[in-house]
Chains A and B, each alone.
Chain A
Amino acid sequence: MSNRYKLIKCTINGKEREVMIDVRASLTDLLRNDFRLTSVKKGCEVGECGACNVLINGECFNSCIYLAVWADGKEILTLEGLSDPDGGISDIQQAFIDEAAVQCGFCTPGAIMSAVEILNEGRELSDEEIRIRMSGHLCRCTGYENILRAVKKTMLKRLGKAEQ
């Protein structure tokens, strides 16, 4: 049983963490259970829906099919990490509010994290490219329309361009 558990070190939302984990645990389990980062949602637990997406070293992953042990030495960012310590929120979070891109809110955290990955690249994507990049997220409420709008508006704003 001794190799069932392993000590890992990682950075979660900017804080260095050391934690003993069950090697069978997913990163979703680690974030939800050990750190109560409950923005990381479970919609399928097999990498189909995207509700659990987080950034790992800046890249977006389904945390439900990413083993917690693999997070050793990595930098993890969840939705909670986007808010600043004073409670201020990022432009993409504000855009989700402004564009009515939030309904039940269950797919929202994962979708925002994918949007962050796209926006951090700092380049302009076509609607089609945004759709491709966001296609790992399933949403039953919005028809994706306003999520697309929120991502696009934020992208153009960051690039200093007005929406055409």
Chain B
Amino acid sequence: MYTGKSVKRVDAFDKVTGRTRYTDDLCDRSAYIAKVLHSTIAHGKVLKIDTSEAEKIPGVVKILTCFDLKEKHYFPTAGHPWSTDPGHQDVADRLILTDTVRFYGDDIAAVVAEDEVAASQALRLIKVEYEEYPFVLDVQEAMKDGAPQLHEAFPNNILKHTRISNGDYEKAIQEPGLVKVEGWYDTPTVQHCHIENFICYTEQVNGRIHVVSSTQIPHIVRRVVAQALGIDWGLVRVEKPYIGGGFGNKQDVLYEPLCAWLTLQTGGHLVKLDVSREETFVCNRVRHAIRSHIVSWVRPDGTYAARKLECFSDQGAYASHGHSICAKGAGSFPQLYPCENVEVDAYTIFTNKPAAGAMRGYGIPQAMWAVESHTEEVAAVIGEDPLVFRRRNLMPVGYEDGFSKNKLYTDSFNQCLDKAMEAIDYKRKFAEYQNQTGDVRRGIGMAVFWYNTAVWPISLESSSCRMVLNQDGSFQLQLGETEIGQGADTAFSQMAADVVGVPLEKVHIVSCQDTDVTPFGTGAYASRQTYVAGFAIRQTGLLLKEKILDYAHELTRMPVYNLDIKDGNIVRTTDGQALMSLAELATEALYSLSDSRHITAESTYQIKSNAYSFGCTIAEVEVDIPLCKVKLLNVVNAHDAGTLINPALAEAQVHGGMSMGIGYGLSEKLIFDPKTGRALNNNLLDYKLSTFMDHPHLQALFVENPEPTSAFGTKGLGEPPACSVAPAIRNAIYHATGVAVNEAPVNPHILFKAFTEAGLINDEPKGPSQS
């Protein structure tokens, strides 16, 4: 058995020797270089683009502007499976280049040149005339009558509003003796910051468009490039090599359509479009900033009588993943702390800012920030230990969601909490840090999270797998699910080796997806890779095994029911004797003069289930009140991700999510100039991504309750680790200081304001008076 063991990553050797080829490493040097001209206003119309000076730069091949786009094919960019029902299709609001500018950084023209220097020089010489419109950056301002409008089809900039109404909220709040707790909670715009920026290159080959892209979703890129160009989908071939991280940004179609169009505009030539770090922050996707308003009505016995959530999600200028993110977060609200009377209003609003898309957690980090900050306050208001309050009100074992049919089969929340509390010595520290005084104080806080794996029944979930047997008894394993750094290829190889019955080194995973040859699959998102691929791997592996044993029957004259494959041998189960090796069988199968067979298996499994994946974070902090600085001393995450396929890789995955959560809680925020709408810190120096220095030891713990719906007992782990870290830190700061900060990140700017308001620091200047 390989599943359950921490085998080494199948791609690690090449990665530590520099052999792994990423998109830029594969591109031929004959490629033209494309660079995009971005708007320098936040909202308006491009009136004129003068390229005459730019065209004089030696090496410039062609300059194309929004006015050169003769056929306007609007396309959606979200990495969602296509829906054949028009009512469920993503909003198609993008053009390859646009003359209507909707955010500072919109794509209005592109230079194609022989080299990067010429492209950059030409870009600077292009002159643009605009008609400027007023712009709006705040979600609630954008909803008001008279606010600047981004898209005609969406009055008041409301992309979508959904409502959940359970029970009777208005009646429920009449119950005597209720305590009302209310708060507003804000999360920032943040960016994925995968270390490899987005890059793609395109070329026309035999009349078709060949795209190589750093993407999580090759099959979706194929469809969208074709939609954007207005050509048949089969005319596009997309290859996905190894990628330097994605985290959801590359679960969107980014510049592949523009690059493909530039290839078509330059006679089919190879064109490379390599995006800078500064562009990545603004012109790719960001995480939705969500403002949430929660009202809870609590009974004296510490139970909820009624609850209400309003949330306003900042979509930025284009729909991308749109309302799905806010809806996922809002959908967790009635479930995490179930209550009979709940009202939820979720709004997704266009603003003149970078488009928001998928990012690790998909609305859940925002929702957990709001809900778990609020939970802490509710416990405080009723004078109860937040742990006791949570245990009483959390989703109980046996809870089943009527829509997804997801069920909580085991006591995951309490098991995770117990494990995390023990690891961090929670109870002792919680008592010790009560009622501190002085400038430097310590605190400990917790937060839980709700997450569901995969997307059924909202959209298609299917996974296809192919196994091709070689002469030596090894086989190629192909899947539409993509390796994006998380270790999927290794987990898939472990699963396949177990199902077929061969040593791990006999499984050759084909890491690169190529839409011409890879079985269809929609890619990496929703923490679904091991869950969905597991079904297809098991089904296809059994199919391959059946074909192998059928041939073994021919060769050994033993009945199939007395045969099995173990450790790469055909074994007679009645006495355990190895009758022949799989290599001997496979060679005979290909070269037999009497019965030659190419033994392969391929199948699709449609997944009509998904699974809850729950857990928690506990954080311990030291707060220096006069300096408004928070030092994270200890942090632990505990997860129930079902059975772990590879514990070491699972642990590593949790570390990365925790790191992202720490940044979300303490430092990361993309800031916009209110006067221009321009991003002010779109680089890795001014945008405060956590470094080696910003983390304590990250502790990742697991409770392994096998998921009953899953092919290997496993469920989502990619995104969950990022979901509860920030509110746990916030709650630890609250515990240390008694100051509730409801705006993330809790950086010194925010703390200075909060501590001043709380009277913990005195804003009076201490130096000599200026007068």
A137 pairs with B652, CB closer than 8 A = no
- Choose one: B245, B276, B649, B685; the contact of A106 (CB below 8 Å): B245
Within 8 A of B (CB), among A64-121: 78-80, 82-83, 89, 93-94, 96-98, 100-109, 112
B770 CB within 8 Å of chain A: no
Name which of B195, B245, B659 has the most chain A CB atoms within 10 A of its CB: B195
CA–CA, A144 to B6, complex, Å? 19
A145 CB within 8 Å of chain B: yes
A48 pairs with B659, CB closer than 8 A = no
CA–CA, A148 to B487, complex, Å? 19
**Across the interface, which residues of B come within 8 angstroms of A79, CB to CB?**
16-18
Within 8 A of A (CB), among B175-232: 192-197
CA–CA, A144 to B695, complex, Å? 8
CB distance from B636 to the nearest CB of A (A): 12
A142 CB within 8 Å of chain B: yes
Interface string of A12-49 (1 = CB under 8 A from B): 00000000000010000000010001110111111011
**Given A104-B485, A109-B18, A143-B658, residue A43 in contact with residue B195 (CB < 8 A):** yes
CA–CA, A144 to B12, complex, Å? 16
CA–CA, A134 to B693, complex, Å? 9
B195 pairs with A46, CB closer than 8 A = no
**Across the interface, which residues of A come within 8 angstroms of B192, CB to CB?**
140
CA–CA, A137 to B195, complex, Å? 10
CA–CA, A82 to B17, complex, Å? 8
With both beta carbons as reference points, the residue of chain B lying nearest to A83 in the complex is identified as B17
A51 CB within 8 Å of chain B: yes
Interface of A, helix, strand, loop or mixed by DSSP: loop
B195 pairs with A107, CB closer than 8 A = yes
A131 CB within 8 Å of chain B: yes
A146 CB within 8 Å of chain B: yes
Interface size band for A: 35 or more
A137 pairs with B655, CB closer than 8 A = no
Within 8 A of A (CB), among B628-683: 648-649, 651-653, 655-660, 662, 683
How many interface residues does B have (CB within 8 Å)?
58
**Across the interface, which residues of B come within 8 angstroms of A109, CB to CB?**
18
**Across the interface, which residues of B come within 8 angstroms of A162, CB to CB?**
none
B691 pairs with A143, CB closer than 8 A = no
B117 CB within 8 Å of chain A: yes
CB distance from A58 to the nearest CB of B (A): 19
B659 pairs with A138, CB closer than 8 A = no
CB distance from B609 to the nearest CB of A (A): 28
CB distance from B487 to the nearest CB of A (A): 7
**Across the interface, which residues of B come within 8 angstroms of A93, CB to CB?**
16-17
- Choose one: B6, B8, B18; the contact of A38 (CB below 8 Å): B18
CA–CA, A18 to B660, complex, Å? 44
CA–CA, A87 to B194, complex, Å? 29
A96 pairs with B195, CB closer than 8 A = no
**Across the interface, which residues of A come within 8 angstroms of B247, CB to CB?**
140
B18 pairs with A141, CB closer than 8 A = no
CB distance from A134 to the nearest CB of B (A): 5
B13 pairs with A142, CB closer than 8 A = no
A97 pairs with B277, CB closer than 8 A = no
A142 pairs with B242, CB closer than 8 A = no
B655 pairs with A143, CB closer than 8 A = yes
**Given A41-B244, A46-B277, residue A89 in contact with residue B698 (CB < 8 A):** no
B484 CB within 8 Å of chain A: yes
- Choose one: B15, B660, B684, B692; the contact of A105 (CB below 8 Å): B15
CA–CA, A132 to B194, complex, Å? 22
CB distance from B724 to the nearest CB of A (A): 15
CA–CA, A156 to B20, complex, Å? 29
A139 CB within 8 Å of chain B: yes
A135 CB within 8 Å of chain B: yes
B693 pairs with A145, CB closer than 8 A = no
CA–CA, A93 to B16, complex, Å? 6
A146 pairs with B195, CB closer than 8 A = no
B29 CB within 8 Å of chain A: yes
B74 CB within 8 Å of chain A: no
Instruction: Report the 7 A-B pairs with minimum CB-CB distance, sorted nearest first.
Output: A39-B18, A104-B485, A106-B244, A143-B659, A105-B15, A143-B655, A48-B684
Chosen A-B contacts, 7 in total, with CB atoms closer than 8 Å, are A38-B22, A45-B276, A48-B684, A106-B245, A134-B692, A140-B656, A140-B660
Which positions in B face A, CB cutoff 8 Å? 6, 8-9, 11-13, 15-18, 20-22, 24-25, 29, 117, 192-197, 242-245, 247, 274, 276-277, 484-487, 648-649, 651-653, 655-660, 662, 683-685, 689-693, 695, 697-698
Q: A37-B18, A103-B656, A108-B15 are in contact. List 7 more A-B contacts (CB 8 A).
A: A38-B22, A100-B9, A103-B245, A104-B242, A104-B243, A140-B656, A143-B695
Which positions in A face B, CB cutoff 8 Å? 24, 33, 37-39, 41-46, 48-49, 51, 78-80, 82-83, 89, 93-94, 96-98, 100-109, 112, 131-132, 134-135, 137-148
